[in-house]
Structure 1
Amino acid sequence: MTTTSRCSSSLRFADGFHRQLAQLNDGRLRATRTSGDPEADLDREIQIRRLELAYIEHERGVISDRIAHVPTQVNAFIDWFESLKQHGPGQGDALFPWLAEYASLSQMRWFLTQEVAGEAGFDDLVALTQLGLPDQAKLELARNYWDEMGRGRQEGMHGLMLRNTSVELKLAPRIDFTVWEALALANTMLALASSRRYAYQSIGALGVVELTAPTRVSKVCEGLRRLGISTKGYRYFQLHAGLDIKHSEDWNREVLRPLVLADPACAKLIAEGALLRLRCGERCFERYRREFGIGQLSHQQAA
């Protein structure tokens, strides 16, 4: 594919596409009563699957050159995966030091509205991804899910903590007020987790969130504390700044390592998922900086 045709194809999977898919995905994971027209439900699901397939396969094509160089020997692969924390797309972005030090309350509210709208629900994504995995990987995803569920305590549920932030800051995320880059992130994560075709990509995408999130969320937490938000309001970010470091270590040891050791070919699929997720984040950060009128710094300056 030429550069021109690739850019033209990429435009297809931008604003209008992701708004349409986000509308179709709205409520997709919610439990509902058996009512309405089952054939219409089936047609809607097929429509979603076709849109997801076209989009994910396009994105896989965009990163195919980079995937070709991913090592499949287990130790080399883990080293490559862990290096994404420093060198992956979107890492060291200037947005987060700026949020920590300079963002106003209204700017922080706008940023978090986008982030909440782009949140696909990590607990549900983990639950979907663990289906049919080998025992060791399934057990680690179960432990991760149990942490997301507050280890059985409602007040400790991570999703509830994020909702507490939304309530305190009076956030009202809506698809029509959300930038398409944030919608694309949520659409991507759900597309990977909901299809067994992309099970390994979902493992990579979830694993790289655990790997890269601590630095970013710690900066968001700093900004919220600077702005006078309560402990309840920033608890979600404070918790993940530390907990995700352990989650990442466990994920790499208990999920990635045994999977690649058993089947080296899955390394490139896991890598695809990681890069797809990081590319989504990078697009979001660039869009947010444009909204705030701030530029990008070097990785060293932004660190």
Structure 2
Amino acid sequence: MDAYPVVAEVSSFLGTPADELDASLGAEKRAALRTAVGELNAKAATGDPAAFYGQQLLLSRLYGLSMQLPEGPSAEGSLALQEVLRLLEQATMAAEDAMLEPGILDAAPAEPAAFLSWLKKSARAHRVYKHPYYREFIRDRATADDLRNYVIQESVVDGRFDDLLALMQVGTGGAAKLEIAGNFWDEMGNGEPAEVHTHLFNQIFRVFDISAEEMERSLTANALLSGNLAVLLCRYRHLYAEAVGFLGMTEWLAPDRFVQVVHAWERLGLPDVGIVYHKLHITIDSRHAAGWFHNVVVPAAESERMRRAIARGTLWRLNSSARYLDERMPDPAVH
């Protein structure tokens, strides 16, 4: 952030009431902020790691305005911050689209069942499928500290999956709404407070004594990106189909990954309370993925526009997850 002071500057605005903030920022200052954020985005697009981190950290903090209940005054609703937010979102989406294989979205078959098969085949052929980070490192080599770092990075999606589903189902109907709602109710522990999945996930933080401050400080740029993409796709109605692909693939990949996490947890003899979430999701996410594919993806795939968008969201998830897991792989000399 030292290299890109706009990150700290915009972050300092977040606790100022929106109307007060907008009144204090004149046209010249708002233009300067847009320019600085544009420069940050341009540097991130060249592969500058500090710019990419600053970009995703700032986007995550801005999303926090609408994803968390404030403890005091909040800049949520600020027009100036909305301009910054949109620039960050546009750059993030453009970067993901630039990483798509040319012509891949045109290759999807039109018939819904064939389209679903194509999605799964594409995932199985992707290098992220059964990634060695889970199948080799986490399962057999990870230490307790490695697992501690793992759950910090995973918190950006797993720690708020219920809220993502709540956002996503707005405006839907029929079988799709029922599927998303049923998925959400499972995340809510089917009405049992002690079994709410975010509560169970948070038990891991207690096992490792992880604070909220440490979590943000420890998140990598690619971990922040994973969380930001999920929020981005779920909060906007015009990106609903991309969210269908993104979250559906997230749930489909989770069971095999979590089997490896449970194996490592038990291998290390860590407290049972911390692994309940992962054990549950090995079976629940298998069921959720099947229901999601058949009740959400297949009906939507009747539309060419929806098919293309679902494929886009699916590939964003596969590609971003691969980059995230690649960086999680340790130096062979260290382990």
Q: List alignment gaps of at least 5 residues for structure 2.
A: 1-41
Q: Which residue of 1 aligns with 2:310?
A: 270
Q: 1:128 to 1:8 in 2, by over 3 A?
A: closer
Preserved contact between residue 23 and residue 175 of structure 1 (Cα < 8 Å): no
CA offsets, 1:223-261, max 9 Å, x none? 111111222110111111111111111001110111112
Q: Which residue of 1 aligns with 2:68?
A: 30
Q: Which residue of 2 aligns with 1:287?
A: 327
Q: Distance in 2 between matches of 1:38 and 1:175?
A: 20
Q: Which residue of 2 aligns with 1:104?
A: 143
- Deviation (angstroms), 1:36: 5.8
Residues 1:203 and 2:239 are matched in the alignment: no
Q: 1:245 to 1:118 in 2, by over 3 A?
A: closer
Among all aligned residue pairs of Structure 1 and Structure 2, give the percentage whose two residues are the same amino acid: 24
109-118 vs 149-158, which moves further: 109-118
Q: Which residue of 1 aligns with 2:207?
A: 168
Preserved contact between residue 203 and residue 273 of structure 1 (Cα < 8 Å): yes
42-51 vs 7-16, which moves further: 7-16
Residues 1:11 and 2:50 are matched in the alignment: no
Preserved contact between residue 203 and residue 270 of structure 1 (Cα < 8 Å): yes
**1:240-279 superposed matches below 5 A:** 240-261=281-302, 263-279=303-319
Q: Distance in 2 between matches of 1:96 and 1:168?
A: 21
Q: Distance in 2 between matches of 1:44 and 1:140?
A: 34
- Deviation (angstroms), 1:267: 0.8
Which residue of the other structure, out of 72, 96, 99, is the alignment partner of 1:59? 96
Residues 1:74 and 2:115 are matched in the alignment: no
Code of the residue aligned with 1:243 in structure 2: it is: I
Q: Distance in 1 between matches of 2:101 and 2:236?
A: 20
Q: Which residue of 2 aligns with 1:49?
A: 86
Larger radius of gyration: 2
Q: Distance in 2 between matches of 1:37 and 1:196?
A: 23
**1:209-248 superposed matches below 5 A:** 209-248=250-289
CA offsets, 1:182-210, max 9 Å, x none? 01101111111111121110111010011
Q: Distance in 1 between matches of 2:127 and 2:288?
A: 21
Q: Which residue of 1 aligns with 2:24?
A: none
Q: 1:229 to 1:75 in 2, by over 3 A?
A: same
Q: Which residue of 2 aligns with 1:21?
A: 59
Q: Which residue of 1 aligns with 2:177?
A: 138
Which residue of the other structure, out of 81, 93, 108, is the alignment partner of 2:131? 93
CA offsets, 1:46-88, max 9 Å, x none? 4213311221133124316222212222111010122244223
Preserved contact between residue 66 and residue 76 of structure 2 (Cα < 8 Å): no
C-alpha RMSD over aligned residues: 2.4
Q: Determine which structure has greater relative contact order: mean sequence separation of CA pairs < 8 Å that are 6+ residues apart, divided by chain length.
A: 1
Preserved contact between residue 43 and residue 52 of structure 2 (Cα < 8 Å): no
Preserved contact between residue 85 and residue 91 of structure 1 (Cα < 8 Å): yes
23-32 vs 186-195, which moves further: 23-32
Preserved contact between residue 189 and residue 202 of structure 1 (Cα < 8 Å): yes
- Deviation (angstroms), 1:180: 0.7
Q: Distance in 2 between matches of 1:19 and 1:8?
A: 12
Q: Distance in 2 between matches of 1:240 and 1:119?
A: 10
Q: Which residue of 2 aligns with 1:300?
A: none
Give secondary structure in 2 for the equivalent of 1:86: helix
Q: Which residue of 2 aligns with 1:123?
A: 162
Residues 1:113 and 2:152 are matched in the alignment: yes
TM-score by length of 1: 0.86
Code of the residue aligned with 2:95 in structure 1: it is: H
279-288 vs 168-177, which moves further: 168-177
Q: Distance in 2 between matches of 1:233 and 1:114?
A: 16
Preserved contact between residue 136 and residue 255 of structure 1 (Cα < 8 Å): yes
Q: Distance in 2 between matches of 1:76 and 1:7?
A: 40
Code of the residue aligned with 2:107 in structure 1: it is: H
Q: Distance in 2 between matches of 1:205 and 1:114?
A: 18
Q: Distance in 2 between matches of 1:209 and 1:201?
A: 12
Q: Distance in 1 between matches of 2:294 and 2:89?
A: 30
- Deviation (angstroms), 1:179: 1.1
